């Protein structure tokens, strides 16, 4: 089956595992409609899964938590909150990721992308009312994701083993280290007192809700997969291979995505 995600800019921090795994900051893996090609090197099967027993157990546990806790909460939120209000919250959450995108784009040697992310943040934080409205996109500055796992891949770091972390979702050794680095270097987090501050906790909660909302169609579709674990793993690894290829200049752009958010559960 095909698991896809709508590209939501920085929140796609990657194109969302199970909604940042119940809210702790994962982004969405994307499964492209087009198969991987030798030109992009996007073959998820190249990454080993030596921890498969642990990963499957972790996947099952996280999926169960979502089924009985996060899923019902978010579906209640979706039922009670107007779509336009939810869209504004999602835009604000995405806007907070632009500084990290700018830093990574600069580290990758993509000055134009770094400038674009910086411009998006400034415009949307001011004219867009704290990011509630994506004014920058209307002005032609479309969002484009960049993270430190991608940066490491840009300079040749191998993915390492695939790991599905309890409540945090899918990653690889390289991308896991990248997530830690992004969290530590996040200008918004540093300026606001970290994730332990009131703002930080509110941001985590909002990120969890918006990503889980985006992932809901794919969470439901995953019920029909013959092997949900394998489907999520393939989607995640293929997406990461594509974004690294893009950072290296080996792909003009990511393939088209179906307008459905991917999940990692």
Residues 97-156: tens digit of each pLDDT: 999 999 999 999 999 999 999 999 999 999 999 999 999 999 999 999 899 999 999 999
Residue 47: its pLDDT value, please? 86
Cα 261 from Cα 215, distance rounded (Å): 4
Residue 223: its pLDDT value, please? 87
Q: Is residue 66 part of a domain?
A: yes
Q: Does position 163 have pLDDT exceeding 90, yes or no?
A: yes
Give residue 130's domain range. 9-247
Q: Is residue 257 part of a domain?
A: no
Q: Does position 174 have pLDDT exceeding 50, yes or no?
A: yes
Q: Is residue 1 part of a domain?
A: no
Q: Is residue 4 part of a domain?
A: no
20-29, 73-82, 169-178, 243-252: which has the minimum mean pLDDT? 20-29
Q: Is residue 252 part of a domain?
A: no
Q: Is residue 152 part of a domain?
A: yes
Q: Is residue 2 part of a domain?
A: no
43 — pLDDT class (breaks 50, 70, 90): very low
DSSP state of 157: -
Give the pTM: 0.79
Report whether 195 contacts 80 (CB < 8 A): no
> How many structural domains comprise the chain?
1
Cα 209 from Cα 78, distance rounded (Å): 10
Q: What does residue 224 show for φ and ψ, rounded to 5 degrees?
A: -90, -5
Residue 250: its pLDDT value, please? 86
Cα 74 from Cα 78, distance rounded (Å): 6
Q: Does position 52 have pLDDT exceeding 70, yes or no?
A: yes
């Amino acid at each position: 089956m095909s698991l896809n995600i709508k590209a939501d800019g920085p929140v796609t921090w990657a194109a969302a595992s199970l909604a940042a795994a119940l809210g702790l900051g994962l982004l969405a893996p994307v499964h492209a409609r087009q198969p991987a090609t030798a030109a992009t090197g996007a073959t998820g099967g190249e990454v080993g899964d030596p921890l498969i027993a642990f990963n499957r157990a972790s996947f099952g546990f996280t999926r169960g938590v979502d089924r009985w806790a996060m899923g019902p909460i978010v579906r209640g939120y979706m039922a009670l909150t107007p779509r336009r209000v939810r869209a504004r919250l999602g835009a604000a959450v995405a806007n907070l990721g632009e500084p990290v995108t700018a830093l990574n784009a600069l580290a990758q040697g993509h000055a134009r992308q770094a400038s674009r992310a910086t411009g998006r943040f400034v415009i949307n934080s001011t004219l867009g009312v704290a990011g509630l409205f994506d004014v920058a996109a209307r002005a032609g500055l479309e969002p484009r994701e960049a993270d430190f796992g991608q940066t490491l891949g840009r300079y040749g770091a191998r993915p390492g083993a695939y790991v599905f972390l309890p409540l945090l979702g899918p990653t690889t050794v390289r991308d896991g280290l990248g997530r830690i680095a992004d969290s530590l270097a996040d200008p918004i987090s540093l300026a606001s007192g970290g994730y332990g501050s009131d703002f930080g906790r509110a941001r985590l909660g909002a990120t969890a809700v918006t990503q889980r909302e985006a992932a809901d169609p794919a969470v439901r579709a995953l019920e029909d997969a013959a092997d949900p674990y394998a489907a999520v793993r393939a989607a995640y690894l293929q997406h990461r291979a594509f974004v690294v290829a893009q950072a290296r200049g080996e792909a003009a752009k990511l393939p088209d995505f179906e307008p459905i958010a991917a999940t990692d559960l």
